[in-house]
Amino acid sequence: MSILLVSTLAALVLAGCVGGAGTEGSAFSESCAAPSSIGDRDDNLSIFGNACASVVEFSEGGETWRIQTFRKGSGPLFVVPHDDENAALATAAAALQKYGGTVTVVETGGRRFNGRIDPNRNFDGGRLSCGKPGRSPQFVAAMVPGGRPIIALHTNSRGSAGTGGSGTISINSATPGATAFPASGPLASEDAMVILASTRGADAHRGLVERLNKAGVNVMVETVDLSKTDCSLSHYAAANGITYANVEAAHGDSATQKAILDIVMREL
């Protein structure tokens, strides 16, 4: 899997997809709009600058979905599933300007869930089947346009129950089925890390883990059991053979998240 990660990103670099490729100065086409014009109930979308913005609304799974997409040249797919994680949105906007690519965002007016559904437990499509009636084909198509490596962006409360905190993610308390590889340095707080996923265990990412650790980044590798899937984006990526990394930081800490993302883009 580590070889796939390297080769996929290398192909993007050779194609001009990573490292600043974009559409600076270009006019918006009829198929897209200025980010600030598409409307958002709680976020200022002008942070996406001159990206090409669009929005799609549909009903699926008993809920109405509103998915925003921002495009600027070629590059990775940055995914922000939770609308209450404002630092992640800021990181996505900065990444789009710096690296190019596509950003997809679930817009819920600042709520973590869309009605009764956690967006990051709704990737029921492709080779990942969660046993839900009707599955989620429209949601998956809107959030994961094909052909790009996926970089998920999340923030969480500090610490975890296992370390006396209020969050759900900590490098000091690995989640079930995951292996923690802690690092040291200014970016290696317990809340900040890169999460990778594989159906073949942590060894599948050994080289990448070593490079990220050497750069001072905590890493957690999730071993995905598709027979017990939680329908998360990491499971969807693992099931469908898509290059994937999740950059985690504490709520509000966009500076750390951006710094780790820069390392991820360099080391993948």
Q: What percent of the chain has pLDDT over 70?
A: 86
Residue range 210-233, pLDDT digits in tens: 999 999 999 999 999 999 999 999
Q: Which domain range does residue 54 map to?
A: 2-267
Give every CB contact of residue 208 below 8 A, 6+ residues apart in sequence: 2, 5, 6, 196, 219, 267, 268
Helices 206-214 and 254-267: angle between axes, nearest 10 degrees: 130
Average pLDDT over residues 106-126: 97
* Total structural domains within the chain: 1
CA-closest candidate to residue 92, choices 53, 138, 140: 53
pLDDT recorded at residue 158:
86
Task: Tell me the percentage of the chain whose pLDDT exceeds 90.
Answer: 79
CB 49 within 8 A of CB 90: no
Q: For 67-81, how does the pLDDT look when each residue is reduced to its tens digit (9 = 90+)?
A: 999 999 999 999 999
Cα–Cα distance between 5 and 39 in angstroms, integer? Answer: 35
- The answer to whether 226 and 115 are in contact (CB under 8 A) is no
CA atoms within 13 A on the CB side of 249: 23
Give the CATH number, domain containing residue 144.
3.40.630
